[in-house]
Structure 1
Amino acid sequence: MITIRHLRKEFPGVTPLKDVNAHIEKGEVISIIGPSGTGKSTLLRCLNRLETPTSGEILVDGENIMQPGIDLSRVRRKMGMVFQSFNLFSHKMVIENVMMAPMDLLGLPARQAYDEGMRLLELVGLAEKALRYPDELSGGQKQRVAIARTLAMKPEIVLFDEPTSALDPTMVGEVLAVIRNLAREGLTMMIVTHEMQFARDVSTRVFYMDGGEIYEDGPPEQIFDAPGRERTRVFVKRLKVFEREITSRQFDFIEINNAIEEFGRRQMLAPRDVQSIQMVFEELCVQTLLKVMGEPVALTFSAAASALDGRCEIIVTYGGASFDPFETNAQDLPVKLLSRRVLAHSHCYAESQNRLVLQLS
């Protein structure tokens, strides 16, 4: 349905979209996640030409909508958009808000627009509010009216720009429930959201955006359970990371040990977890790896604490020949000490680089 090629958008002093490429098929539900300021909303606004891209191509049903002289009204009728702010006309009743665009832009007779509007209000659970004014509704109800108004134009795809960000937490669920129902009906949707569980539940694909591009693209099971790239992993697991690179055997051990303790305090880790991280650093890196490594010394120690479940993970990368201390040196005292604090570990070797991942118990 949509093909995006090398899309770029520049503003004075900032470039939110640097090189975006994607294909969206009919019926897909794509959640767009990522840190603030990484171009998620700008991408949606470029897709329906509320923003004019600096360069690149956007093809909708094979038609390049960036070509000169394109009928933007026709393009936008294919792509409905639901904004963070509801943008309802406060002086018109709910049903009038839903009826306006089909009558003005599609030429629907008033009776037909009314009947279709009531059907859509029933779909979003608000038929009884048809004769109310927007100011009489809660935030969640206003957003559901905005969704009904968008659907009234019979779009082929609906773009949701953080549809719950302006809502009180108690109202988020009712809007997400409506979007879930639309997904079950096979409507094509792209949703910018910070609701990770919702993105996992409703999406067929997830775009993780970072650095002005789609950094990783895959099914929700991949993105949330087994992300293939490091920045995705850090984001979805809400990890707070401590990292040090060691390039000499004469490094400052005391400084790193104290820095681990400070990291633990800032992240409010349990004292046992802090001690485990310090133990892994000393017994694995200092007492084991540095003793078997040749020159030059190249070792990176990374400790991550999840803000979601408090779990700690340590990743150590080091050069040289393939070497897994838990296999090769399993009977050595340092490795035995580590085994008491390590719940699971995995080792891989590629391009002369060892990568050891430890899950702390």
Structure 2
Amino acid sequence: MISIQHLKKAYPNVTPFFDVNVEIEKGEVISIIGPSGTGKSTLLRCLNLLETPTAGEIIVDGETITKKGADISAVRRKMGMVFQSFNLFSHLTVIENIMLGPVDLLKLSRQEAYDEGMRLLATVGLAEKALNYPDELSGGQKQRVAIARALAMKPEIILFDEPTSALDPTMVGEVLAVIRSLAQEGLTMMIVTHEMKFARDVSTRVLYMDEGGIYEDGPPEQIFDAPRRERTRVFVKRLKTFEREIESPTFDFIEVSTGIEEFGRKQLLSLRQINNLQLVFEELCVQTLLGRGGEALPLRFSASVSELDGSCEAAIFYSGPSFDPFTEQANELSVRMVLGLTKEHAWSGDSGNHITLIL
């Protein structure tokens, strides 16, 4: 349905993304997540040409809409967009806001547009507000009207640009409920959102944007439960992270150990958790891995604390040949000490050595 190839958007002082590549099939519900400034909203605005891409191609139903001379109006009729700030006309009633596009652009009669508008208002639970003006509605009601207005244009896909970000928390649920019902009807949607639970529940697919493009792409179960890439994991688990790169056997051990302590205190870890992190670093990194000589260098140690549940992890990435200290000949006493501190542990030899420990 939509093919995005090597898409780039650059402004004079910043480039939100420089190589976005993704295929979107009919009926998919795609949530786009990621840190601020990674171009999530800009990507949606490029899709319906509210922003002109700097480079790359967008192909919709076999037509390259980024080429010179493309029919922008036709593109926008295919893609309804729901903005953060509603963008309703304050001088028109709710039903008049919804009728405007179908009458002017789809050339429906006023009666046809009215009938369809009332049906859509009933769908979003606002039929009784048809003759009200936008200023008489709550934020959640305004956003539901905006959704009905987008649907009135009979789009093939709807783009939602953080549809709940401007709402009071008490109003978020009513908008998300409408979007969930649309998803169940098989409507193709792309949703930029910071509502992680909603993204997990409603999506058939999740795109995590970072480092200038689509950093990770997968079903919600993968992205939220078993992300394959480190930045995704840090983001979805809302991790606060301490990290040090060790490049020499004569590194400053005291600075790293003190850094772990300061990080732990800042994240309100218990003294026991802090001591455990320090012991993992000393026994596994220093005694076991660096004790094998310089082949494990460079070595990276990180400690992470989740803002969601306070869980604490340690991760170690190191160089050299594949070496699993938990099963191969190693400093047995140090390994046993570490295992006594951890709830779970895992080693991976894919793309270098990687140890993960749950404390």
Smaller-chain TM-score range? over 0.9
- Matched AA of 2:326: F
Deviation at 1:331, TM superposition (A): 8.4
Who is 1:257 aligned against?
A: 257
| In structure 1, C-alpha distance between the alignment counterparts of 2:41 and 2:95, rounded to whole Å | 28
For the 8 Å contact 1:121–1:130, the answer to whether it is kept is: yes
Deviation at 1:295, TM superposition (A): 4.9
Who is 1:225 aligned against?
A: 225
- Matched AA of 1:66: T
SS in 2 for 1:131: coil
Who is 1:198 aligned against?
A: 198
1:304 aligns with 2:309: no
Structure 2: runs of 5 or more not aligned: none
SS in 2 for 1:207: strand
Who is 1:173 aligned against?
A: 173
Who is 1:19 aligned against?
A: 19
1:359 aligns with 2:355: no
| In structure 2, C-alpha distance between the alignment counterparts of 1:218 and 1:322, rounded to whole Å | 28
Cα–Cα, structure 1 residues 250 and 67, in superposed 2: closer, same or farther, change >3 Å? closer
Deviates more, 1:138-147 or 1:326-335: 326-335
- Matched AA of 2:353: N
Q: Which digits, 9 at most, give the CA deviation of each residue in 1:22-81, with x for residues without a partner?
A: 111000000000000111111111100111111111111000111222221111000000
Deviation at 1:94, TM superposition (A): 0.8
For the 8 Å contact 2:8–2:54, the answer to whether it is kept is: yes
Cα–Cα, structure 1 residues 337 and 296, in superposed 2: closer, same or farther, change >3 Å? closer
Deviates more, 1:77-86 or 1:301-310: 301-310
For the 8 Å contact 2:287–2:331, the answer to whether it is kept is: no
Q: Which digits, 9 at most, give the CA deviation of each residue in 1:65-105, with x for residues without a partner?
A: 11222221111000000000011111111111111111111
Q: CA RMSD in A?
A: 1.5
| In structure 2, C-alpha distance between the alignment counterparts of 1:156 and 1:234, rounded to whole Å | 34
- Matched AA of 2:100: M
Cα–Cα, structure 1 residues 281 and 139, in superposed 2: closer, same or farther, change >3 Å? same
Q: Which digits, 9 at most, give the CA deviation of each residue in 1:333-352, with x for residues without a partner?
A: 3222222211111112246x
Cα–Cα, structure 1 residues 136 and 282, in superposed 2: closer, same or farther, change >3 Å? same
| In structure 1, C-alpha distance between the alignment counterparts of 2:331 and 2:249, rounded to whole Å | 24
- Matched AA of 1:308: L
Q: Which digits, 9 at most, give the CA deviation of each residue in 1:152-196, with x for residues without a partner?
A: 000000000000000011101100000000000000000000001
SS in 2 for 1:150: helix
- Matched AA of 1:159: L
Who is 2:128 aligned against?
A: 128
Deviation at 1:356, TM superposition (A): 1.3
Deviation at 1:300, TM superposition (A): 1.6
For the 8 Å contact 1:247–1:296, the answer to whether it is kept is: no
| In structure 1, C-alpha distance between the alignment counterparts of 2:97 and 2:311, rounded to whole Å | 48
SS in 2 for 1:216: strand
Deviates more, 1:242-251 or 1:184-193: 242-251
Who is 2:313 aligned against?
A: 313
For the 8 Å contact 1:329–1:335, the answer to whether it is kept is: no
Who is 1:40 aligned against?
A: 40
SS in 1 for 2:145: helix
Query: How do residues 338-349 of structure 1 correspond to structure 2 at under 5 angstroms?
Result: 338-349=338-349
Deviation at 1:330, TM superposition (A): 8.0
Deviation at 1:323, TM superposition (A): 2.6
| In structure 1, C-alpha distance between the alignment counterparts of 2:296 and 2:270, rounded to whole Å | 36
| In structure 1, C-alpha distance between the alignment counterparts of 2:195 and 2:225, rounded to whole Å | 16
| In structure 2, C-alpha distance between the alignment counterparts of 1:276 and 1:8, rounded to whole Å | 45
Deviates more, 1:32-41 or 1:289-298: 289-298
For the 8 Å contact 2:264–2:274, the answer to whether it is kept is: yes
| In structure 1, C-alpha distance between the alignment counterparts of 2:295 and 2:23, rounded to whole Å | 47
Q: Which digits, 9 at most, give the CA deviation of each residue in 1:269-310, with x for residues without a partner?
A: 222211110110112122222222345743221111111111
Deviation at 1:250, TM superposition (A): 2.0
Cα–Cα, structure 1 residues 63 and 268, in superposed 2: closer, same or farther, change >3 Å? same
Q: Which digits, 9 at most, give the CA deviation of each residue in 1:89-145, with x for residues without a partner?
A: 111111111111111111111111111111000000101111111111100000000
For the 8 Å contact 2:295–2:319, the answer to whether it is kept is: no
For the 8 Å contact 1:8–1:56, the answer to whether it is kept is: yes
- Matched AA of 1:198: F
SS in 1 for 2:16: strand
Who is 2:68 aligned against?
A: 68
| In structure 1, C-alpha distance between the alignment counterparts of 2:263 and 2:291, rounded to whole Å | 26
| In structure 1, C-alpha distance between the alignment counterparts of 2:203 and 2:28, rounded to whole Å | 8
- Matched AA of 2:115: D
The normalised TM-score by structure 2 is 0.96
| In structure 2, C-alpha distance between the alignment counterparts of 1:61 and 1:349, rounded to whole Å | 42
Who is 1:82 aligned against?
A: 82
- Matched AA of 1:264: G
For the 8 Å contact 2:84–2:163, the answer to whether it is kept is: yes
Who is 2:8 aligned against?
A: 8
- Matched AA of 2:43: L
Residue-pair matches, total: 359
1:288 aligns with 2:271: no
